[in-house]
Amino acid sequence: MSASILVPTDGSPESERALDVAVPLARALSLSIVLFWSWEGLGEMPSGTSPKAVAQIETEEMADRTAAVSEIAERRLSPLRLLFETKIGRGPAAAAILAQAELQEPRFIVLSTHGRSGFKRWRLGSVADRLVRESAHDTVIVTPNAEVSLNPEIGRILVALDGSEQAEHALDTALTLARASGATLHLLRATALTVPAAPLGAEIPYGQLTEDLVEAASLYLSRLVALIPDVPASTEAPLAPAGQAILDAAAGADLVMMTPHARSGIARTVLGSTTDAVLRGCAKPVLVVRA
């Protein structure tokens, strides 16, 4: 894995919002930034178009994109004295980004899911959706409604947990970032009581069950906090569906971290419903951590 962050762009101001997340990550962890723009090509040309004309147009298009991505890097990154480079790819956006990530092996991919021109389809369910599902790298998603408040520095990180070792991979990444940046952590484990079917007339102590579940979640979080005395951390164990609890708690955070729950080979095609809900509705950048 290289010490870099891959930031896809299309030259639009909206896509540049990804840099508002990538820059503080790069600063905190001493990472370089690779600004990447993929061109999908001319598509179907009118019959009779000469190969020479096509080649000339393609050369000009690639030159325009090379100049544009270089201008963004010089304007946004050079003044910050960050290490960076620019890359231009060819082909459909999702496939090109995945190919670049496989070649580059970045520490993070940071993607803004809204923009003009080539990014019209960059909404969850298309390019970004495929990237989150298929990439093997930790990926930050910045949705159109996300408030980016971690620039110039990261203040508070929300870590969504569920008691599993898989979910705790997000905590490992959060700790690395918190120790490097001075950020505080807020650990959350939500509990939603599933009411079982009961025989007619049977009395089930739902109140006690609820209290026990919340207490167990609180104790779990307390044990985790005790293991990280060097990082300031708060905890929350709400009685609520996980997705909604994370969305509510995100209001007080700069960055949300979570691990998608999907096992074996299916992990690359289907994310858990909670992860999907958070990615679509979160008002802060979401870092999806690969287990």
* Best CA proximity match to 151, nearest among 263, 254, 56: 254
| pLDDT for the residue numbered 173 | 96
Low-confidence ranges of the chain (pLDDT < 50): 115-123, 125, 202, 262-270
The count of other CB atoms within 10 Å of the CB of residue 42 is 11
Quote the pLDDT of residue 116: 42
Residues 64 and 56: beta-carbon distance below 8 Å = no
**Cβ(89)–Cβ(40) under 8 Å?**
no
**Residue 13: exposure state from Cβ atoms within 10 A (0-12, 13-18, ≥19):** exposed
d(CA 89, CA 36): 7
**Domain at 4-45+53-142: CATH code:** 3.40.50.620
Report residue 12 as tokens. 């639009």
pLDDT of residue 204: 52
Least Cα distance to 234 among 164, 291, 287, 183 occurs for: 183
Q: What is the pTM of this model?
A: 0.86
Delimit the CATH 3.40.50.620 region(s) of the chain.
4-45+53-142, 156-288
Could you tell me which CATH number the domain at 156-288 has?
A: 3.40.50.620
DSSP-derived secondary structure for 185-241: EEEEE-B-PPPPP--TT----HHHHHHHHHHHHHHHHHHHHHT-TTS-EEEE--BS-
